[in-house]
Amino acid sequence: MNKKILLIIGGGIAAYKSLFLIRVLARRGIATRVILTKGGSEFVTALSAGGLTGEKVFTDLFDLTDESEMGHIELSRSADLVVVAPATADIIAKAAHGIANDLATTTLQATDKRVLYAPAMNVRMWESAPTQRNVKTLKADGQYFIGPDAGEMACGEFGEGRMAEPEAMADAIDKLLKGDTTLDGLNGPKPLKGKRALITAGPTREPIDPVRYLSNHSSGKQGYAIAAALGRLGADVTLVSGPVSIDPPACAKTVQVETAREMLDVCEKGLPADIFIAVAAVADWRPKQSAAKKIKKGKDGIPAMVLTENPDVLATISAAKNRPGLVIGFAAETCDVVEHAKAKLAKKNCDWIVANDVSGDVMGGDHNSLIIVTENGEDYFPHLTKADAARRLADKIAEHYS
């Protein structure tokens, strides 16, 4: 998309989530430039923000070098969207009243771009008359808000005040960058509230000896995206993940496992659940024997490897006494995708099978084409990003319960 946002990081404990946001946006192809306020720099450093954006971080209005490299007016207009996260009561108040006494507030007043505020503060500050008045003023001026979410806060209180989750913020940013200004629904309806979802993701690793293993190319991206999408719709999500190199979604509880047997064990302990989604590329076989010490090259030549079958996590959970009401399997196929998916639906006693053609660059890539096979027919979700595919699946699940 080649879009760029200007992220103003205010002074709040939620500033760490803004660093996470930079990474989520980068994964979506959106670049970030950062202004770090004095307050923000008490919580995160310019070095970490700069390391993540790969760009200079701007901090001071009166820094001569900064001004000569990129003046604050140019800075305010160089991005496609300005995002203030965390937006403190102080920044909101200054912006609402046109007070411009530092780089962040000067930029907010000078910008000709849309501004999205992600407030984060104590619930009482958020609910206070001045803050609510200021938010109303900014909204009337045409500015956008996401959150705050309700939940437990760093100060120990419970209520509205937590900064929106990075994935939800990235959704809002995506929408605004595409010119869609209807942010309703991003913090709004939580149709899966009260539902427990258990999701497997990533590959498993089956040890040959302490340094070698059998595994596959699964990146975990699709399973992680599904966990995030369900979390955003209010589900209470546990993600059981094999070894991957991506960050766990903030809105799920993630349990890391290595082998198929560990994955099954954690899933069984995770029951009861309402929804089970097996996205993991579980190794079908494991070495029958795993050596306790590294196998050395010896005079016996090349060792033969005898394999044994791994438990089928999906089939086992589907046959459990306390089987979740909605069991969804994935079918990774390279040919006759729908036919094989239908066979798996019956064989593994699933309610739905999500079939995907893995003959291309799906494993490890960012896109996926899914076919959801149920007893009532098929839904086609062709060539979507894995995040969009996850959202479509989550919406279909919400629809199923509505």
Sequence-ordered strand ranges (E) for 163-235: 196-201, 206-209, 212-214
Contact status: 284 vs ligand CTP (CB under 6 A): yes
Q: Please, which residues bridge with residue 160 across strands?
A: 150
Q: What are phi and psi of 188, to 5 degrees?
A: -70, -120
Contact status: 260 vs ligand CTP (CB under 6 A): yes
Determine which residue in the list 5, 75, 266, 282 makes contact with ligand CTP, applying CB under 6 A. 282
By the 10 Å C-beta count (0-12 exposed, 13-18 middle, 19+ buried), 369 is classed as middle
Do 331 and 337 meet the contact criterion of CB atoms below 8 Å apart?
yes
Between 173 and 327, CB nearer to ligand CTP = 327
Determine which residue in the list 96, 280, 387, 393 makes contact with ligand CTP, applying CB under 6 A. 280
Determine which residue in the list 106, 111, 238, 310 makes contact with ligand CTP, applying CB under 6 A. 310
Q: Please, which residues bridge with residue 109 across strands?
A: none
End-to-end CA distance of the chain: 34
- Per CB under 6 A, which region of 50-58, 185-193, 240-248, 274-282 contacts ligand CTP? 274-282
251 is catalytic: no
Contact status: 312 vs ligand CTP (CB under 6 A): yes
Contact status: 313 vs ligand CTP (CB under 6 A): yes
Contact status: 276 vs ligand CTP (CB under 6 A): no
Contact status: 341 vs ligand CTP (CB under 6 A): no
Cα–Cα distance measured from residue 314 to residue 198, given in angstroms and rounded to the nearest whole number:
11
Given 155, 251, 267, 335, which residue is catalytic?
Answer: 155
Contact status: 278 vs ligand CTP (CB under 6 A): yes
By the 10 Å C-beta count (0-12 exposed, 13-18 middle, 19+ buried), 331 is classed as buried
Sequence-ordered strand ranges (E) for 71-195: 81-87, 115-119, 144-145, 149-152, 158-162
Helices (H), 204-355: 221-232, 260-270, 313-318, 337-347
Range 197-256, binding ligand CTP (CB under 6 A): 200
Number of residues counted as binding ligand CTP (CB under 6 A): 15
Contact status: 75 vs ligand CTP (CB under 6 A): no
- Per CB under 6 A, which region of 41-49, 214-222, 305-313, 365-373 contacts ligand CTP? 305-313
Contact status: 314 vs ligand CTP (CB under 6 A): yes
Between 166 and 223, CB nearer to ligand CTP = 223
Between 11 and 203, CB nearer to ligand CTP = 203
By the 10 Å C-beta count (0-12 exposed, 13-18 middle, 19+ buried), 397 is classed as buried
Contact status: 330 vs ligand CTP (CB under 6 A): yes
What token pair was written down for 351?
């309610």
Min separation Cβ 256 and ligand CTP, Å: 17
User: Which residues are the active-site residues?
Assistant: 155
Could you list the residues that contact ligand CTP (CB under 6 A)? 200, 260, 278, 280, 282, 284, 310, 312-314, 329-332, 344
